[in-house]
Structure 1
């Protein structure tokens, strides 16, 4: 009996992925990554209180509204820069550079949006302190996620998205 090769999405490698399935994958990744990172950022900005979940949800929504348009542009620019400056690098090296670069860019945006939502923009010193604290607190998890994305998930997603 031959073993069936099943991917995370339940598709066999020879089956085409639909646009709806592609969208579901991207939404799931956004919820996992954005949700966990803005959760950490909200916690270090405000601590755990009665309104933590409301603050986290509004921070997540704000970050997504800012990141969604910026993310596509940043990814396209990073891909072009990596292709230009690292043409001879292996796919793994290119994926690592992309993963770490996108993590830093997106987390900077998420930390800015989260600090603006949680602290506000009226006191620039408090805003900058909250932004820096949020960025540094979430950076280790973001970099671990970037490494996982670059080495494990992105190569599989590239194959799925090409289908």
Structure 2
């Protein structure tokens, strides 16, 4: 039996170039990191003339620290839950991964943003300021991570494997 291949089928068989994979991952991380550091910077400093400068420097610091950690953590957490919960439906496992990643990434991101915006040394209120950043941005992080884990992550994993 002869099967006709469409251009879509042929494109799926071709290997996706590495630069496209990097761009997709960087775009997602920029969306998430930019949104969350914006919320955290606002909680640390409020809105002022220097807000955008503070936000950009906090985002860049977070990007340099969090993006590599985030990629590694997502891989580790996904593998961990795949092995610990092999009999659970993939969508439920992705939800658990999303919630776990939101908590881990959010706590580290709140730390780096608060350090960049307010400093760690000589700041007796650092813990309180970190907690306010974390708690305020947590709902945003949970919505983003759960949405990504449930909808986008499976598609991106397939894309990255191609």
TM-score by length of 1: 0.87
Aligned to 2:62: 63
Q: Is the 8 A contact 1:59 1:113 kept in 2?
A: yes
Aligned to 2:151: 152
Q: CA–CA distance in 2 between the matches of 1:35 and 1:151?
A: 21
Aligned to 1:53: 52
Runs of at least 4 residues of structure 1 off by over 6 A? Answer: none
Aligned to 2:88: 89
Q: Is the 8 A contact 2:66 2:109 kept in 1?
A: yes
- Greater displacement, 134-143 / 65-74: 65-74
- CA gap 1:73/1:156 in 2 versus in 1, 3 angstroms: closer
Aligned to 1:20: 19
Aligned to 1:9: none
CA-CA distance at 1:14 after TM superposition: 5.5
CA-CA distance at 1:97 after TM superposition: 0.9
1:37-67 deviation line (CA, Å, top 9, x unaligned): 0000000110001111111011111111111
The Cα RMSD (Å) is 2.0
Aligned pairs for 1:73-88 (under 5 A) are: 73-88=72-87
TM-score by length of 2: 0.87
- CA gap 1:140/1:13 in 2 versus in 1, 3 angstroms: farther
Segments of structure 1 that go 5 or more residues without pairing to the other structure are: 7-11
CA-CA distance at 1:147 after TM superposition: 1.6
Q: CA–CA distance in 1 between the matches of 2:72 and 2:14?
A: 30
CA-CA distance at 1:13 after TM superposition: 5.1
Q: Is the 8 A contact 2:99 2:145 kept in 1?
A: yes
